[in-house]
Amino acid sequence: MEVAPRDLGRAVHGGGIWAFVHPIGAFYELASILGFLLLLKGSLDFTVAVASKEFNDLWWMGLVVGILEILLAFWASQQFFAPRAALILLWVGFGAMFRGFTEEMNIPPLPMVLA
């Protein structure tokens, strides 16, 4: 059982050294992983919004967030370096905004909370 954490630690250290030696390649891979994660999260948000349409009045907000995340995923997956750099720099703001919309959508109405 002690082999797996040790090997994982070595792999993470090796990846860190590689990223330090080759920062452009690491940046490119980070943008690729971010695009893939955006596609997964956008698809999930889209699906949850459509599934919760009957009992959630703000289902459309989740739908819009899901569509925007999918569009950002395709933007991140293009081959040009400058848009990828801009996406990583802007992702913190987009992520906070989308997280706020998603959390606002999941808040129950006030009368249900007080009852």
Q: What is the pLDDT of residue 44?
A: 93
Q: What is the pLDDT of residue 58?
A: 82
Residue 87 placed within a domain: yes
CA angle 59, 65, 69 (to 5 degrees): 145
Residue 76 placed within a domain: yes
Domain containing 60: what range?
23-107
The pLDDT tens digits of the residues spanning 27-39 come to 777 778 888 888 9
Q: What is the pLDDT of residue 67?
A: 94
Residue 18 placed within a domain: no
Count: domains in the chain? 1
CB-based burial of residue 92 (10 Å sphere; 0-12 exposed, 13-18 middle, 19+ buried)? exposed
